[in-house]
Amino acid sequence: MHAVANPPEGQASHQDVRDVAARVVAWQRQYGRRHLPWQNQHDPYRIWLSEIMLQQTQVATVIDYYQRFLVRFPDLNTLAEAPEDDVLRLWAGLGYYARARNLHRCAQVIRDHWGGRFPPDAVQIATLPGIGRSTAAAIAAFAYGERSPILDGNVKRVFARYFGVYGPVTSSRCDKALWRLAEAALHAAPAALDMAAYTQGLMDLGSGPCTRSRPNCADCPLSQGCHAYQYGLQQTLPTPRPRKTQPERHCHMLVLAHRNRILLNRQPTPGIWGGLWSLPRYDSLLALQTACAARSLPGDRLDELPPMQHVFTHFRLHIQPWQLEIDRGTEPIKTPEEAWFPAIELASSALPAPIKTLLTSLYPAQVGNG
C-alpha cells in the first residue's frame, strides 16, 4: 500500500468494532498458538505464572523457565512458603526481578487473604501485587472465561494500527482511547465469544503478523478495514516515543576469592538486581583498592579483567571487573548481606545473568558443573 497524503486520524465505525472479535477468534483457531505449556487448562496459578513471566520476555525464553519453576513450585502454597532466595534463584536470567519478588509476595497474599485460592474476577485479581489491569483480565479470561479486555504492549500496537490511533501509546490520551476501543470491541462481540481464543488471538497477532518492524499484513485477519494498512502507515503507527539518550553508568566489581569461595553481596531492594547476590560493587577504583587493602597481604595481586557491560531498560551499565585471590585467616561464613559462596554452588545461586557468565568464565570447572 502507498501512503496517502494527510490521512485522517482513524475513527472506528460500529462495523469495525463489531467484526474485530469474530475475525480474531476465527484466525486464532486456525493459525494461533495452541500448544504452549500453559495453554489448554484453567489453573489460575499456572496461567498467572506464565503471564508474569511473559511480561517483557519472549515466549521461547519463558518456556524452559516456566517448566523448571513448576518443578520446584508446583502450586501456589509451595511458592508462598518458599524462601525468597529460592524464587530469585530460579528467576535468575529472566531479568526484571521485581516480577519475581512480586510473584512471591502475591502468592503470600493469596494464601493469607484469599484462603489460597485466586480471586474470582479480574477486578479483584488486579488488586494483587504485581498484577495490572491487562494481566488480571488475561488471567480471568483464560481461567474463568471472563469477558474483560486486555491491552498489553502487543495489543496496543494492533489496535493503534487498526483503529488509527495517533500518538505514543504510553501517553495518557492514547492509553485511554485504546482502552475504550478494547472495551467497545468486546462489548460488540457475540455473546458466545470464546474468550480464551479471543485473548490469545490478540496476543498472537501482536507477536505474529502485526510485529513492530516487519508486519505481515497479508496474513492478518484485520487487514481489511485496518487504518494503517489502508494508508500505508504500518511503519508510522504506533507513533514512536521520542528517543532519549540512554544514560551511561560506570562501576568496578571485585571477584574476591578465598580458598575456592567467592564473596558476594545481596543487592538492596529496590535497586538493580534487587534481592539477588552479586559481586561487591564500587563507584571508583580508589574505593575498590581501599577495600582490597583491608583484606589482602602485600604479596596478593589485584588483576584487571576484560570490561563488560549490561543494558537495563533505562540505562547502560559499564562494569570493570577485578580479581583478587587471598589465602589468609578465616573469613566470615555469612551475614544477611554478605556471604562466601563455594564456587561449586554458584551455578545454582540467585545471581544476575552477566555475573554468572563472568564467574563461569573464571571458574568453568566449578561453576559450569555446579
Domains and CATH numbers, the chain: 14-152+169-207 (1.10.340.30), 248-367 (3.90.79.10)
Peptide bond into 270 cis (omega under 30): yes
Exactly one of 51, 84, 325, 338 is catalytic; name it: 51
Considering the chain, what is the average pLDDT of its residues? 92
Return the C-alpha cell found at 49.
505464572
pLDDT at 244: 82
47 sits in which H/E element: helix 44-54
DSSP code, position 344? G
pLDDT at 266: 95
pLDDT at 11: 55
Residue 323 backbone dihedrals phi, psi, to 5 degrees: -130, 135
With a cut of 70, which residues of the chain have pLDDT below it? 1-15, 329-334, 365-370
Q: What is the pTM of this model?
A: 0.89
pLDDT at 3: 45
Give 303's Cβ-side CA count (13 Å radius).
Answer: 11
pLDDT at 304: 97
Q: Looking up cell 484466525, which residue turns up?
A: 27
DSSP bridge pairs for 148? none
CA distance 73 to 107: 11
Q: Is 51 a catalytic residue?
A: yes
CA distance 155 to 143: 20
